[in-house]
Amino acid sequence: MVIAVDFDGTIVKHRYPEIGPEIPFAIETLLKLQDEGHKLILWSVREGELLDEAVEWCRARGLEFYAVNRDYPEEKVDNNNHFSRKLKVGLFIDDRNLGGLPDWGTIYNMVHNRLTYEDLINHYEQEAEQQINVSKPSFWKRLTGRQ
């Protein structure tokens, strides 16, 4: 899958135009997704030197993107008659998602297992129902050991 990933607020904490500290497990998760064959595109509002700094920050941590702010590395307006600033990807990972940015463990689980938010909600609801339905012996039965 081709995945677009935001930088500020997603890989690092918001400190724009500076680069904030890494959000825990962001780089590790993105590297794991690459190892599994996903192509990652850095999709950021940053441009020029600020974008170069973000790309270099990721590179220093071993993360190389398939493309940066475009669909493929060599894409340019003049060599793509279908050029659009909107990327043609299977998934966007961005802190501006409806509901915000889940933790990177949840993001990995969703991408790896191709889960939706609805799938997660259903899973958590089923877990909660199972916990409610587990019959606990009454206080008296636990105290006396009688059935």
Paired tokens of 38 = 């996903």
Q: Is 142 a residue whose pLDDT tops 70?
A: no
Q: What CATH number does the domain containing 58 carry?
A: 3.40.50.1000
Q: What is the pLDDT of residues 92-115, one digit of tens each?
A: 999 998 778 999 999 999 999 999
Total number of domains in the chain: 1
Q: Is 139 a residue whose pLDDT tops 80?
A: no
Structure-derived torsion over alpha carbons of residues 11, 45, 102, 26, reported in degrees to the nearest 10: -10
User: Quick count: other Cβ atoms within 10 Å of Cβ 38?
Assistant: 17
In this prediction the pTM is 0.78
CA distances from residue 70 to 1, 24, 52 in whole angstroms, order as listed: 15, 26, 14
For residue 87, name the pLDDT band (cuts at 50, 70, 90). Answer: confident
What is the span of the domain harbouring residue 7?
2-144
Going by C-alpha positions, the residue among 132, 43, 129 that lies closest to residue 89 is 43
Average pLDDT over residues 75-79: 60
